Amino acid sequence: MSTDVLDLAQPTQWKEPFMGRVLDFPPHRPAHPARAMEAPSPGKPSELIETAQFSSAVFLLARSFAAVYESLPWTAALFATQQRRLLCHAALSDYFLAVRRAGAGLTRNGFGSLARQYGIASRNTAYAFFDEALRYNIIRPVAGSRGGPSDEVGPTHPTLSMLIRWYSLHFQALDLIDGGGRAARFLMEPQRMLILIEPLAAHALLTSREVRSPGPLHAIFAIGDTGGFLMDRLIAGIDPETVVGQGRLPTNVSSISSLASSFGLSRAHISGKLAAAESIGAVGWSGRRGRSYIWISSGFYQEYARAHARKLRILDDAFTEACTILASFPIKSAATSDS
């Protein structure tokens, strides 16, 4: 595989308006419904973990996620907690399905219903998230399916660029594991690929018990503000060569103040997260607390790695399904979401 890594902090250059073309298949018929509703088999993620290059893929993901938060904090904050990530996937999936049905976008009420349907959040929480996304230009009003005013919204181009980079990164990780060419294939026509991949991947992610409840450390880190990125930063700080060993894995993180500054949080907030993880033996200090390097346990790394393995398998299945559909159906023109 090439040593070039997609830079999530750099904007994607659009070669044509997003959603300029859509697939021409009956809107009432989901693509391969049985496959779309299936969760990946339980053994597959463990097979990924056992591959020689899996730890390299994990570090690629961790370092890229930590970097994107530092460069694009407002956009990245939408994905900083598990609930926010799931809400984003539910919204984007519904948007792409609407486009496939020749609709315009997502409504506030519809989003509230989705959040309840998948058990992600209450309506009020979903509405607050929706309003925040509008305020920070993550989504924008779009014209109705007949061209007139409507209460529908769609993702802005920067949001779609971020989504493309998010998928590209995961496909790079999969390619690193098995030498495949998913990332290059995806980037050949990301607009067409997203319209299929996101609904397939989102449903699998939203209905997977393992994804929704990955383990005790995610309960500590991924629930609070930017806690997921704190996990990424700790993993990114490990020397990859130490992962083959057992026990404590030293990181290059020694300053709580630096962590707090990077994530825009108080020292008390960061200290609370670390203390909770320390209470179950997941992290600790190599010397004096606050004046030495933090270590994480092998269990911390393994839980993080398993979570990525489950997600990567889901995304790989969605990619394969999308490629099959694209090879089977023609395309037709459609209006762009930002027109």
**Residue 266, Cβ neighbours under 10 Å: how many?**
11
Cα(339)–Cα(331) distance, integer angstroms: 19
Half-sphere exposure of 179 toward its Cβ, with a 13 Å CA cutoff? Answer: 1
Cα(249)–Cα(296) distance, integer angstroms: 5
DSSP string, 265-302: --HHHHHHHHHHHHHTTSEEESSSTTSS-EEEEHHHHH
3 state DSSP class of 240 = helix
Cα(44)–Cα(240) distance, integer angstroms: 23
Half-sphere exposure of 307 toward its Cβ, with a 13 Å CA cutoff? Answer: 22
Phi/psi at 116 (5° precision): -70, -40
Which helix (DSSP H) or strand (DSSP E) does residue 257 occupy? helix 256-263
CB-CB contact of 35 with 321 (8 Å): yes
Question: Each residue's pLDDT tens digit in the chain (339 positions)?
Answer: 333 333 433 433 333 333 333 333 333 333 333 333 333 333 478 888 889 899 999 999 999 988 887 777 777 777 778 898 999 999 999 999 988 887 778 999 999 999 999 999 999 999 999 999 999 899 999 876 666 667 899 999 989 998 999 999 999 999 999 999 999 999 999 989 999 999 999 999 999 998 888 888 878 887 766 667 889 999 999 988 887 666 899 999 998 888 888 777 788 888 888 999 999 999 999 998 878 999 999 999 999 999 999 999 999 999 999 999 998 875 543 334 454
Cα(119)–Cα(113) distance, integer angstroms: 10
Residue with tokens 């902090």: 9
The single-letter DSSP state of residue 122 is -
**pLDDT of amino acid 11:** 37
